[in-house]
Structure 1
Amino acid sequence: MLDVVIVGAGPVGLFMGALLLQGGHQVRILERRITRSGRSRAIGIHPPALAELARAGVADELIAAGVHIRQGVAYSQRQKVATLAFDGDPVYPFILAVPQAITENILEKTVMALDPGAIIRGADVQEVVDDFRSVHIVADSSSGRRELRASLAVAADGAHSLFRQRVLPHLPSRSYPDSYIMGDFADTTGHGSDAVLFLEPAGIVESFPLPGGVRRWVVRLGAPDNGSTAAGLAELVGVRTGEVLDAGTNTMVSAFEVRSRLAKRMVHGRLVLLGDAAHEISPIGGQGMNLGWLDAAALAPIMGTSFRGDDVGRILKNFEKSRRSAALRASRQAGLNMALGRPLAPHVMVARNKLFARALQVPAVAGLVERRFTMR
């Protein structure tokens, strides 16, 4: 019998697997996809998550592969509004920007070095049964039906988690009046490694550097996207910000709407919900993946204690309380980020931006905002 079966080989599931394998546990990670996706949605890695990745021995390669964002700059109607340095963490005075595909590749290599058979791809989980002594998992695959039994199971299968739907079938979600479209283009802006926010009357435009001379653009829309193209996104950016993007260099366009969902409990018998499966939050602010990694870092030693036969009931309650608090904090911050980017009448936006700029000139306020943006 295995110690742990993890469902989902995204960034959170792979990191959880690496931590458990490093602890000497027998682990299998089941992934429905045959191959990794080349699409990159999550790109920002914050200092607290970098610290945990460093403890697992994977931070150095990520840091070498990514762009170090040391400050954010806000503009509005072609004028600079404010600058915020991300230098509050003494070890990692930056937010790291790495395409998700690179992050997953590095984490997968770490897992495979520990156990070449740990990842099972093409395994579509159909059934999970907790019989109070172990967890029985049934999955369909190209080679036929697969059955595994483990002491514990971890659901790291994302916002649409099959596990969560089964243990919490009526968990409510909250929808927001915010829709976005994002895309990656060659960077000819001159903004270097800065993150840039364009606070415009028609809605925010966000821009983040990526490795290889690429920059990601995220535009708030007035209604859900209806099939926008790279050229359409480039035009939107140009109209709002004056920045000129070459649609011919685009490598990705993706639209998304926003909702949140927060489970009161992460531990359900021998099943644990992790990351987006437990707490789906707005991707604006880039905290979701980091939140999942911090979940995993907190959970792995508790599992190790459990396997030694110790009672971890009280520890698990504290774990759930702490991680729910962190998820609530991240969700509120994401809500503030979205509110900051909603349309405003030009004269109202000018007044709001002046107030914002003055506030950031106060060191205590700037420090608080920096801590919120970097998840410290």
Structure 2
Amino acid sequence: MLDVIIVGAGPVGLFMGALLLKQGRQIRILERRLNRSHRSRAIGIHPPALTELDRAGLSAPLLASGVRIERGVAYSKGKKIAELPFTGDPDFPFILAVPQPVTEQTLEQAVLALDSEAIIRGADVRHFADDGGTVSVRAASPSGEHTFTSRLLVAADGAHSLIRQRLLPGLPARSYPDSYLMGDFIDGTGHGDNAVLYLEPEGIVESFPLPGDVRRWVVRLGVSADGATAADLAALVQARTGAVLDPESNSMLSAFDVQSRLAGRMIHGRTVLLGDAAHEISPIGGQGMNLGWLDAAALAPLIDASLRGHAVGRQLQLFEKDRRRAAARASLQASLNMALGRPLPPPVMAARNSVFTYALEFPTVSALVERRFTMR
């Protein structure tokens, strides 16, 4: 019998697996996809998550692969209106930008180095049951159905988590009046390693450096952008910011709407919900993956203590309370980020930007905003 079954081999499930394997636990990570996705979606790794990755011995390859973003710069109507350093953390004075496929590959290699059989791909979980002492999971694969039994089950299967849907049917989601179109292009802006926000009356444009002289662009829209092309995104960016993008250099394009969902409980008997399965928030601000990693880092020692026979009921209650509070705080920050990017009449936008610029001149305000943006 296994110690832990993890459902989902995304960044959160892989990190959870690596932590448990380092404890000497017998695990299996069940992943529906046969292959890793090559789409570069989540890119920002914040200082608290870097600290936990470093403690687990996993930060070095990511640091070597990423771009260190040490400051954000805001523009409006072609003029720079504010700068914000991301240098408040003494150990990691930056936000690290790494394409998600690189992050997943790094974590997967770490897992397989500890147990070459830990990850089972093509395993589509169809059913699970908790008898009070063990959890059984039935998964379909190309070779047929397989049943796995473990002492604990961790659901890291994302925002559309089957396990959460079974445990919390009908959990409501909050929708927002925001849609986004984002894509990666060869960088010819001259912004270097800075994150850039263009606060424009038509809506915000965000821009982040990536390795290989690539830059991520995110444009806020009021309607869904399904079916949009790289040329469409390039045209929107140029119209709002003046930056010229080469559509032929586009390497990733994605349109998405925004919703949030917060589970009232993360712990259900011998099953724990982690990451987006427990708390789906807006990707604006890049907090979701980081939240999941911090969930895993807080849960791993409790799993270890529990499997060693220690009573951890009180600690699990505190874990759930703390992680739900962190998710609510991140969701609020994401909502504020989205509100900052919504269209405004030009006079109102100019007045708002002036207040924003003035406030950031005060060190206490700048430090507070920096802490919020870096999740410290």
TM-score range (shorter-chain normalised) is over 0.9
Matched, 1:30 2:13: no
Partner of 1:255: helix, strand, or coil?
A: strand
Equivalents in 2 of 1:163, 1:42: separation in Å? 23
> What is residue 313 of structure 1 aligned with on the other side?
313
Matched, 1:44 2:44: yes
Find out whether 1:192 has 2:202 as its counterpart: no
- Which residue pairs with 1:374 in the alignment? 374
Map 1:167-206 onto structure 2 (within 5 A).
167-206=167-206
Tell me how far 1:170 sits from its aligned partner.
Answer: 1.8
1:11 aligns with 2:3: no
The yes-or-no answer on 1:331 pairing with 2:328 is: no
Report matched runs for 1:83-232 at 5 Å: 83-232=83-232
What is the CA–CA distance in structure 1 between the aligned matches of 2:177 and 2:314, rounded to whole Å?
Answer: 39
Q: Distance in 1 between matches of 2:130 and 2:178?
A: 38
* Matched letter for residue 59 of structure 1: S
String of CA shifts for 1:157-204, please: whole Å, max 9, x gaps. 000000000000021110000000000000000000000000000000
Residue matched to 2:356: 356
> Counterparts in 2 of 1:197-276, with a 5 A limit?
197-276=197-276
1:38–1:226 distance in 2 versus 1, CA, 3 Å = closer
How big is the alpha-carbon RMSD for the aligned residues of Structure 1 and Structure 2? 0.4
Partner of 2:341: 341
- Per mean C-alpha deviation after superposition, the further-off stretch among 219-228 and 289-298 is 219-228
Sequence identity (%): 69
**Alignment size in residue pairs:** 376
Match of residue 288 from structure 1: 288
Q: 1:93 & 1:200 partners in 2: Cα distance? A: 29
Cα distance in 2 for residues equivalent to 1:182 and 1:329: 25
Read off the aligned partner of 2:318 and give its amino acid letter: N
For residues 315 and 80 of structure 1, what CA distance do their matches in structure 2 show? 48
Q: What SS class does the counterpart of residue 51 from structure 2 fall into?
A: helix
Three-state SS of the structure 2 residue aligned to 1:299 is: helix
Aligned to 2:220, the other structure's residue is in SS state strand
Question: What SS class does the counterpart of residue 92 from structure 2 fall into?
Answer: coil
Equivalents in 2 of 1:206, 1:350: separation in Å? 18
Counterparts of 1:12 and 1:28, CA distance in 2: 14
Cα distance between partner residues in 1 of 2:87 and 2:253: 31
Q: Could you state the TM-score of these two structures normalised by the residue count of structure 2?
A: 1.00
Structure 1 counterpart SS, 2:153: strand
Distance, in Å, in 2 between the alignment partners of 1:340 and 1:106 is 34
Q: Which amino acid aligns with 2:263?
A: A
Give the whole-Å Cα distance in 2 for the aligned partners of 1:343 and 1:164.
35
Deviating beyond 6 angstroms after TM superposition, the runs of 4 or more aligned structure 1 residues are none
- Give the 3-state SS of the residue equivalent to 2:223 in structure 1: coil
Q: Secondary structure at the match of 1:293?
A: helix
Counterpart for residue 57 of structure 2: 57
1: CA distance between counterparts of 2:258 and 2:167? 23
Q: Secondary structure at the match of 1:160?
A: coil
Which sections of structure 1, spanning at least 5 residues, go unmatched? none
Q: How many Å separate the matches in 2 of 1:225 and 1:209?
A: 23
2: CA distance, partners of 1:314 / 1:68: 39
- Amino acid of the residue matched to residue 15 of structure 2? F
CA distance in 2, matches of 1:139, 1:245: 45
Q: Does 1:21 align with 2:48?
A: no
Equivalent residue, structure 2, for 1:66: 66
Partner Cα distance (2:317, 2:23) in 1: 22
Q: Which amino acid aligns with 2:27?
A: V
More off after superposition, 217-226 vs 9-18? 217-226
Alignment partners' CA distance in 1, 2:222 and 2:267: 38
The CA distance in 1 between the partners of 2:374 and 2:264, in whole Å, is: 25
Cα offset for 1:226?
A: 3.5
Query: 1:264 Cα shift?
Result: 1.4
Q: Report the Cα offset of residue 222 of structure 1.
A: 1.8
TM-score, normalised via structure 1 length: 1.00
List gaps (5 residues or longer) in structure 2. Answer: none
* Inter-partner Cα distance in structure 2 for 1:270 and 1:170: 21
Secondary structure at 2:289 match in 1? helix
